[in-house]
Amino acid sequence: MANKSVTSQEWSQIFAKAWSDPSYADLLRTDPTTAVRQHLKVHDDTPLDIFLVPPRPADLTDEQLEGVVKGTYNIAMTYCC
């Protein structure tokens, strides 16, 4: 089975959800595969690539964060290394 490619918009939504929902953030830290599968609604046997959650940007307002979670606002993701 092919790996599920997670889009930058999906990662933005996952990170925003973690920044706004402490219980989801805990799940993402302790069991990232389950957390990502929950968000993406993919089967347990679908291979995934998992990343760490970056800290919430200090200048991201609650309204912008809510928009990211809903998919109506996009944040720029900077990839490193």
Return the domain boundaries, the chain: 8-70
Distance CA(69)–CA(16), nearest Å, equals 6
Residue 25 phi/psi, 5-degree rounding, is -60, -40
Distance CA(67)–CA(3), nearest Å, equals 28
Cα 18 to Cα 3, 12, 21, 53: the distances in Å are: 23, 10, 5, 8
pLDDT tens column, 17-65:
888 999 999 998 888 888 888 888 776 777 766 666 677 778 888 888 8
pTM of the model: 0.56
Helix, strand, or coil (residue 66): helix
